[in-house]
Structure 1
Amino acid sequence: MTGSLQVKRGIYYMTVSFKDEKGVCRQKSKSTGIPEKRGSKRKAQQMLDEYLTEMQKQSVTALVQKDRLFLDFMRDWLNDVIRMAVRANTFEQYEKVFNNNICQYVPF
């Protein structure tokens, strides 16, 4: 997930690039409401950093639960986080390693 600042009509806008559930690259743009003037770029950059942090927390929040089996957590993490972060053929290899090696673990 990456972000950048752009100026449109004298106002700073945040543009965030990310991959959706299907692995397709998407962009989301949001106004900061901060006018372009001397010293305001730092405030806009701080807003962008906070916005990126919030979006990353939202994508990870679904994974955080108590009383969950390790294998269930790993399967969800692999499908929800890693699938969007790597190319399709890389994900297939990770999934093979998970199914052939890690899933062989028997909880006791």
Structure 2
Amino acid sequence: MPGYLTTHVLDTARGRPAEGMEVVLFRLENGQRTEIARLKTNHDGRTDSQILPAADFATGQYELEFHAGAWMDATGVDPESPRFLDVIPIRFGMSQHDHYHVPLLVSPFGYSTYRGS
């Protein structure tokens, strides 16, 4: 099976997908971060394409940045300055050529993630 990476962002405070959140993928190698992809979530809280498609997949260390603060500002979540959550980084490793799914459950004051399917 070829490897690839996807995500799904859900707004747990309002019980719906987090449409319009910017997600950035970095590869971590030798102490350096290299940007691989920059996408926005769609109406279902997913990106329209795989974040890291099979053609570009490589095992290794990665980081996803979820731009939650800007998304909250744009979607009318009560303003707070500074926001408790702004950019949420999630560092993870991909050791096999497989489907990796890294969802984010987010609210203004907390978040969680896991390896999904």
Q: Calculate the TM-score normalised by the size of structure 2.
A: 0.24
Higher RCO (C-alpha under 8 Å, 6+ residues apart) = 2
Q: Calculate the TM-score normalised by the size of structure 1.
A: 0.25
Q: Compare CA radii of gyration and give the structure with the larger one.
A: 1
